[in-house]
């Protein structure tokens, strides 16, 4: 998903879509695309919106990358649904990985672990989660007594007990293609922001009795996305250390 404006990026993001902001010398989305390729994903769909022409031009000569337009931008579920014409041409059981384009710290090893877990359990959907020291502001992963996925509870909606949960949702997903397309068509925008949320697909799948898996596979360091110039500097520092030791980048 790469349609956002990045309005808090200051001078670094001036005249650019958020995911095209240079991050250690490359557009931040390039790090995500590279991780997907390293993980063996052969077809990459970029959902573009703000200044879409810049993203289209950047990937025009890359045959494994296709851009689809999200206009207007009505939430994460709406973003993924813009890829429906492409996804409908794929087999029903095809694993579809959904990621944010503004998380350049993602590792190929994490994507591989996500897809492996998804296939091994014949899941309708699988989330890769992270356990972090300070989960403030993140959606919490609630599990049942058997350790299975129960719900994602946003920080502002969480009870005091739920706020002690340190397992969070950094938005790394894998879906069975037909389950994703079916439930996306059922997601509504009856919420305070009037948007269509991808996490609602997980709720609908669980309500329908479809298997939803959770794998804690995201290193805490990788959860940081970029919304401010300060976060950009922090991410660039981490990427710089990884580039100095290349083997560290693709292995958790």
Q: How would you classify the pairing of strands 125-131 and 212-216?
A: parallel
User: Quick check: 172 and 99 in contact, CB under 8 A?
Assistant: yes
Tokens of 63: 């045959």
Q: What residue spans of the chain are helical by DSSP H?
A: 28-38, 52-58, 76-81, 84-87, 108-120, 177-184, 199-207, 229-244
Q: What contacts 31, CB < 8 A, 6 or more positions away?
A: 23, 104, 105, 106, 239
The number of beta carbons lying within 10 Å of the beta carbon of residue 182 is 17
Catalytic residue, chosen from 8, 43, 186, 241, is 8
Q: Residue 249 and residue 107: Cα distance in Å, rounded? A: 6
Residue 8 known to be catalytic: yes
* DSSP assignment letter at 147: S
Catalytic residues, which ones?
8
């Amino acid at each position: 998903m790469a349609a956002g404006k990045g309005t808090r990026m200051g001078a670094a993001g001036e005249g650019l879509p958020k995911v095209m902001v240079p991050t250690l010398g490359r557009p931040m989305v390039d790090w995500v695309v590279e991780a997907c390729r390293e993980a063996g994903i052969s077809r990459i769909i970029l959902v573009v919106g703000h200044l879409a022409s810049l993203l289209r031009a950047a990937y025009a000569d890359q045959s494994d990358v296709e851009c689809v337009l999200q206009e207007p931008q009505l939430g994460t579920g709406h973003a993924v649904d813009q890829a429906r014409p492409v996804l409908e041409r794929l087999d029903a059981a095809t694993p579809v990985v959904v990621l944010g384009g503004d998380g350049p710290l993602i590792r190929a090893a994490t994507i591989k672990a996500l897809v492996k877990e998804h296939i091994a359990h014949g899941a309708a959907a699988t989330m890769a989660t992270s356990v972090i020291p300070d989960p403030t502001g993140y959606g919490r992963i609630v599990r049942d007594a058997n350790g299975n996925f129960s719900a994602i509870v946003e920080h502002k909606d969480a009870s005091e007990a739920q706020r002690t949960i340190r397992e969070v949702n950094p938005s790394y997903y894998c879906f069975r293609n037909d389950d994703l397309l079916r439930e996306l068509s059922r997601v509504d925008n009856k919420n305070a922001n009037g948007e269509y949320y991808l996490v609602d697909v997980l709720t609908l799948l669980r309500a329908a009795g479809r298997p939803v898996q959770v794998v804690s596979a995201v290193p805490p360091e990788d959860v940081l996305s970029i919304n401010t110039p300060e976060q950009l500097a922090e991410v660039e520092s981490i990427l710089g250390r990884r580039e100095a030791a290349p083997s560290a980048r693709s292995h958790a």
